[in-house]
Chains A and B, each alone.
Chain A
Amino acid sequence: MIALLLRDMTLAVRAGGGFGLGLAFFLIVVVLVPFGVGPEAAVLTRIAPGILWVAALLAALLSLDRIFALDWEDGSLPLLATSPLPLEAVALMKALAHWVTTGLPLTLAAPVLGFLLTLAPEAYVWLLASLALGTPALSMIGTFGAALTVGLRRGGLLMSLLVLPLYVPTLIFGAEAVRRGAEGTGATTPLLFMAGITFGTIALLPFAAAAALRVNLR
Chain B
Amino acid sequence: MSIWEYANPKKFIATTTPVIPWLFAAAGVAIVGALIWGFFFTPDDYRQGSTVKIIYLHVPSAMMAINTWVMMLVASLIWLVRRHHVSALAARAAAPVGIVMTLLALFTGAIWGQPMWGTWWAWDPRLTSFLILFLFYLGYVALWQAIDDPDTAADLTAVLCIVGSVFAVLSRYAVLFWNQGLHQGASLSLDAEENVADVFYYPLLLSLAGFVLLFLALVLLRTQTEIRVRRTRALLARSRRAAPEARA
Contacts and interface: CB of A to CB of B under 8 A. Distances in A.
Interface of A: 144, 148-149, 151-152, 155, 158, 161-162, 164-166, 168-169, 172-173, 176, 179-180, 190, 193, 197, 204-205, 208, 211-212, 215-216, 218
Given A161-B135, A172-B171, 4 more contacts: A152-B147, A161-B142, A172-B178, A215-B152
A168 to B, nearest CB: 5
B116 interface: no
B167 interface: yes
Interface stretch (B39-47, B54-62, B157-165, B197-205): B157-165
A148 B170 contact: no
A162 B143 contact: yes
13 contacts: A144-B163, A151-B147, A155-B146, A158-B146, A161-B135, A162-B142, A165-B167, A168-B171, A172-B175, A197-B170, A205-B163, A216-B152, A216-B156
B107 interface: no
A164 B135 contact: yes
B72 to A, nearest CB: 15
A166 B164 contact: yes
Contact of A168 (B143, B147, B174): B174
A169 B139 contact: no
B160 A148 contact: yes
Contact of B163 (A155, A164, A176, A208): A208
Interface in B130-148: 132, 135-136, 138-139, 142-143, 146-147
Contacts of A211: 155, 159
Given A165-B132, A165-B135, A168-B167, A152 B152 contact: no
B170 A169 contact: yes
B143 A176 contact: no
A158 B171 contact: no
A204 to B, nearest CB: 8
A158 B156 CA distance: 13
Contacts of B147: 151-152
Contacts of B152: 151, 215-216, 218
A165 B175 CA distance: 12
A87 B181 CA distance: 40
Nearest to B133: A165
Which interface residue of B132, B135, B142, B181 has the most chain A CB atoms within 10 A?
B181
B159 A193 contact: no
